[in-house]
């Protein structure tokens, strides 16, 4: 079953150093390389990468509509009524005490450069579903995908705010919760995008190309793990 094969890959999207980030073991100033690399690898250009998938001649009309809605929200914040997601990210960085100038002309680490190169390549490949699977399922997904797919009801405002208060930036590093609007938006609108992404990939992947989709996702995982190795080293974390 294709979904199970893809979920098994997401199950392994779990880097050994994640507890150092999630449990606040790294002082906030030392997290700057982590955020800089995230920005340069995909946060800033995520709408553009999605647009490449939409632009394929063979992308079905229903998938184009789904991608267009996702791109609209990512690039403008028009669905959530906020701002573009890259802009919300930079506002969060300001809340962390970083400068916007810190995110100009970021130099990618070697493995980060290879990961970004793969994202550029896979979104340009035909069939379109290869890039769609990598961008909308792998990049936007996490090791918690199975559990999140079981959550059918939208989260209440109270639950969202409770989750924001438990975010490591707020709970451990003391960042004002008002700067985490990006996380609020994700919790409000991304659930629908996740469902749409799975429906698009599972509904438009014929059996002859299932192995190619799985291979693209597996490559994404390996490039991501190597990328995270470089990032944790830049943050001064040793295994």
Q: In this structure, what is the dihedral angle of CA atoms 53, 104, 117, 226, given to the nearest 10 degrees?
A: -120
72's CB contacts (< 8 A; 6+ apart) are 78, 79
What domains sit in the chain, N to C, each tagged with a CATH number?
2-234 (1.20.910.10)
182's CB contacts (< 8 A; 6+ apart) are 85, 88, 89, 91, 92
Is 170:180 a contact under the CB 8 Å cutoff? yes
SS3 state at 156: coil
Length of the chain: 239
Distance (Å, rounded) from C-alpha 70 to C-alpha 189? 9
The pLDDT tens digits for 176-192 are 999 999 999 988 876 66
pLDDT in tens, the chain (239 residues): 999 999 999 999 999 999 999 998 999 999 999 999 999 999 999 999 999 999 999 999 999 999 999 999 999 999 999 999 999 999 999 999 999 999 999 999 999 999 999 999 999 999 999 999 999 999 999 999 998 888 766 788 899 999 999 999 999 999 999 999 999 998 887 666 788 999 999 999 999 999 999 999 999 999 999 999 999 999 999 88
Is 221:13 a contact under the CB 8 Å cutoff? yes
Q: How far apart are the first and last CA of the chain?
A: 36
Other CB atoms within a 10 A radius of the CB of residue 236 amount to 11
> Contacts by 169-178 with C-beta closer than 8 Å and gap 24+?
169/28, 169/92, 169/95, 169/96, 171/24, 172/23, 172/24, 173/24, 173/28, 173/96, 175/28, 175/92, 175/95, 175/96, 176/95, 178/95
């Amino acid at each position: 079953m294709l979904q199970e094969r893809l979920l098994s890959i997401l199950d392994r999207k779990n880097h050994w150093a994640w507890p150092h980030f999630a449990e606040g073991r790294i002082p906030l100033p030392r997290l700057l390389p982590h955020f800089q690399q995230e920005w340069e690898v995909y946060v800033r250009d995520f709408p553009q990468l999605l647009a490449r998938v939409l632009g394929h001649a063979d992308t079905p009309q229903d998938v184009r509509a789904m991608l267009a809605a996702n791109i609209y929200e990512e690039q403008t914040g028009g669905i959530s009524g906020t701002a573009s997601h890259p802009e919300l990210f930079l506002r969060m960085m300001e809340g962390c005490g970083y400068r916007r100038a810190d995110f100009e002309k970021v130099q990618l680490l070697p493995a980060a450069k290879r990961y970004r190169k793969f994202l550029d390549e896979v979104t340009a490949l035909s069939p379109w579903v290869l890039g769609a699977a990598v961008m909308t399922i792998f990049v936007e997904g996490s090791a918690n995908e199975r559990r999140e797919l079981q959550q059918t009801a939208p989260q209440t405002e109270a639950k969202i705010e409770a989750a924001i208060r438990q975010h490591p930036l707020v709970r451990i590093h003391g960042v004002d919760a008002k700067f985490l609007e990006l996380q609020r938006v994700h919790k409000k609108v991304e659930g629908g995008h996740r469902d749409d992404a799975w429906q698009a990939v599972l509904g438009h992947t014929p059996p002859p190309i299932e192995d190619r989709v799985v291979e693209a996702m597996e490559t994404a995982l390996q490039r991501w793990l190597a990328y995270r190795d470089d990032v944790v080293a830049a943050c001064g974390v040793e295994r």
